[in-house]
Amino acid sequence: MKPNDFLDKFYSRRQSTIKRLLIITILILLVVTASLQFHQKENFIAKITVEGIIKDRNDILEQLNNLDADENVKGLITVINSPGGTYVGSKEIHESIKNLSKKIPTVAYMREMATSGGYLVSLSSDRIFGNEATITGSIGVILQTANISQLLDKLGINPVIIKSGDLKAVPNPAEEIDTEKLNYLKDIIQKMQKEFLNLVKKNRDISNSTIELVSDGRIVTGKQAKDLKLIDAVGTENDALSWLRQEAGLGDDVKVKDLSIQNDITKVFNLNFLKKKINYLNQNFYNGFIAIWTPGI
């Protein structure tokens, strides 16, 4: 036998083994997924996780829409660990959970952080729990930009900007922003801030003096949030689940179904999972109005 023939057979066997292992792995994942789908016929408590920067979370919106059509779901716990994100993205999740709250009891549990858009999401639940050390608050909207016109001038670059109106593409980093344009942007921010604060008023039984206090965008701990009535109770995730079971009249035998785990399994069969998403770094490239708390950035 020639050396090359031996190597060819070796590589051929190795490729065949790898293919078999891949097929077996896929079959196992299919069985697990099918098993999870089968168990959906039983009554259950759904758990979703809102983590990291909130932006284009269609996965969460799809989960909530599916729950709305599922007669076996008897309660929802939303675990939040997020500094916030885009205002619209946060509000979409808020509205979806609020709609689901008409059907089943809902509870939110804040982990390390539930600020700005993260807090906006928590407002949608019937009851809010947080840890004593949870960072929350930062109620508000922000628009970030920069004026690099002087830098461009030093580099000998003269931007040519042709636009249909004076307020088109404002703010534009390539041109200076005058008082009129600045006031125009501030007015938009104030309108969105007013909408955010109205949601807080609508969902929390707090005084106008407290609203005025937190409207400056300050952050607070979970304990402070409880004193300010921004949340209902200081406790653990188990405390939140206990409240949910009691509110829904469910026993300990009703299982909690973590939808984020099922979503991770489903992603294995979606080629989009190959696309890397660096959630934290993405926040530096956001355009538009965001509700987020980003210290040091």
Question: Tell me: the pLDDT tens digits for 43-80?
Answer: 999 999 999 999 878 889 999 999 999 999 999 999 99
As a dihedral over the C-alpha atoms of residue 64, residue 46, residue 98, residue 108, rounded to 10 degrees, the angle is -130
Active site residue 35: no
Position 220 pLDDT exceeds 90: yes
Measuring CA to CA, how many Å separate 277 from each of 51, 62, 85, 190, 280? 13, 19, 15, 32, 9
Please tell me the pTM assigned to this model.
0.75
Which residue of the set 19, 163, 168, 267 is catalytic? 168
Q: Count CB atoms within 10 A of the CB of residue 272.
A: 7
Active site residue 138: no
Which 8-state DSSP code applies to residue 106? Answer: E
Position 195 pLDDT exceeds 90: yes
Which residue of the set 96, 116, 122, 125 is catalytic? 116
The string of DSSP codes covering 109-144 is: EEEEEEETHHHHHHTTSSEEEE-TT-EEE--S-B--
**How far apart are the C-alpha atoms of 143 and 292, rounded to whole Å?**
10
Q: Which two tokens stand for residue 147?
A: 């004026």
3-class secondary structure, 253: coil
Work out the average pLDDT over 13-30: 79
Q: Count CB atoms within 10 A of the CB of residue 129.
A: 29
Domain 42-142+207-292 - what CATH class?
alpha beta
Q: How confident is the model at residue 139 (pLDDT cuts 50, 70, 90)?
A: very high
**How far apart are the C-alpha atoms of 84 and 127, rounded to whole Å?**
19
**How far apart are the C-alpha atoms of 85 and 56, rounded to whole Å?**
10
